[in-house]
Amino acid sequence: MSKWIKVCNLESVFPSTGVCALVGDKQVAIFRPNDDEQVYALSNMDPFARANVLSRGVICQHKDQLWVASPLKKQRFSLVDGSCLENAEVSIEAYKVRVKDGGIEVQL
């Protein structure tokens, strides 16, 4: 069973932004869409641009779902499951994430 790994404090991620964290050997994009404790974790790799840039993407809403738009090629990825809105055959990894004692923890 995978263990939870603390990556940063919740207050280190400003609302409506993302940050990148190295968790083990993976670059993980952590997103905080609002000023509450809801956070999401996805692979930081944009599969279209083949670059680790998704943490710099723009959080957006489409049909009541939250997405991150890649800063390079603008494809949108679901913050919930990593699916791509523009291409159903492409997805990225979504990781379990939680806030515990003020810290953001990721489980790979």
Please state the domain extents for the chain. 4-107
> pLDDT (tens digit, 9 = 90+) per residue, 6-62?
999 999 999 999 999 999 999 999 999 999 999 999 999 999 999 999 999 999 999
Task: Give the CA distances from residue 16 to residues 43, 90, 91, in Å, rounded to whole numbers and listed in that order.
Answer: 18, 25, 22
Q: What angle do CA 50, 23, 68 make, to 5 degrees?
A: 50
- In this predicted structure, what is the pLDDT of residue 1? 63
Q: pLDDT of 51-65, one tens digit each?
A: 999 999 999 999 999
Cα separation values, 5 from 62, 73, 103, 107, Å: 31, 31, 10, 6
Task: Quote the pTM value.
Answer: 0.94
Class of domain 4-107: mainly beta
